[in-house]
A = this chain, B = another copy of it.
């Protein structure tokens, strides 16, 4: 029995997120499990390193599954890419140690968020970014971002439905760059609560628009009240890296 580790890239635009919720659900996990099970000849469950919400993309989602059937890494990759929809691509397959588990062994996650910050839409990236027409103040956004780094209780940036025991997470890095109207936000940490990245980016956008002061971020985190934060940024701009 081999343990196969997959690196998967997908355009999440037409899916209800990563996680399979039932039978026949239009999720990325369900699509991949269907093809893997056909390949294996038996039902196979795959384990993802993390979930992505409906509409969120991935540049490199990590997953693994175990299979009795002996197949080379190359043969698995070729089979999956032949039968998966064109918006889901397996970019790497590796046979790993039996004890490897994609969720438990992923200790760092990075997300990328794209903001198109020009007066008019960009037709080529409109499905992969959020569009903010008013000019954003990048310096203020960078200052606001710096306050998120470190270990904090992120209750203020969580979804009310979240039932996680602890809302403490550590942010390792938070970078904001801009090139030709496109702002890219990269945030990495040991884990993220449901909707947390989109809520943080939404707050950053409010800071960039001058509606929230960067200096108020520490107090907003401290208060742990959900209604203190700004908008939740659109799913289309978010990529699991």
Please list the residues of chain A having a beta carbon within 8 angstroms of any beta carbon in chain B: 9-11, 57, 77, 81, 86-91, 120-124, 126, 128
Contact = CB atoms under 8 A, between A and B. Distances in A.
A73 to B, nearest CB: 13
Top 8 nearest A-B pairs by Cβ distance?
A11-B123, A87-B123, A89-B120, A81-B120, A89-B121, A89-B123, A9-B123, A10-B123
A121 B10 contact: no
A121 B11 contact: no
Contacts of A122: 9, 89
A123 B86 contact: yes
Contacts of A91: 120
Nearest to A58: B123
A14 to B, nearest CB: 11
Number of identical protomers = 2
B120 A90 contact: yes
A126 B122 CA distance: 17
A13 to B, nearest CB: 9
A112 to B, nearest CB: 12
A153 to B, nearest CB: 35
B124 A11 contact: yes
Given A11-B123, A89-B120, 16 more contacts: A9-B122, A9-B123, A9-B124, A10-B123, A11-B124, A57-B124, A81-B120, A86-B121, A87-B123, A87-B126, A88-B123, A89-B121, A89-B122, A89-B123, A90-B120, A124-B128
B11 A81 contact: no
A120 B7 CA distance: 13
A38 B128 CA distance: 31
Contacts of A87: 123, 126
A124 to B, nearest CB: 6
23 contacts: A9-B122, A9-B123, A9-B124, A10-B123, A11-B123, A11-B124, A57-B124, A77-B120, A81-B120, A81-B121, A86-B121, A86-B123, A86-B126, A87-B123, A87-B126, A88-B123, A89-B120, A89-B121, A89-B122, A89-B123, A90-B120, A91-B120, A124-B128
Nearest to A126: B86
Nearest to A87: B123
Contacts of A81: 120-121
A34 to B, nearest CB: 18
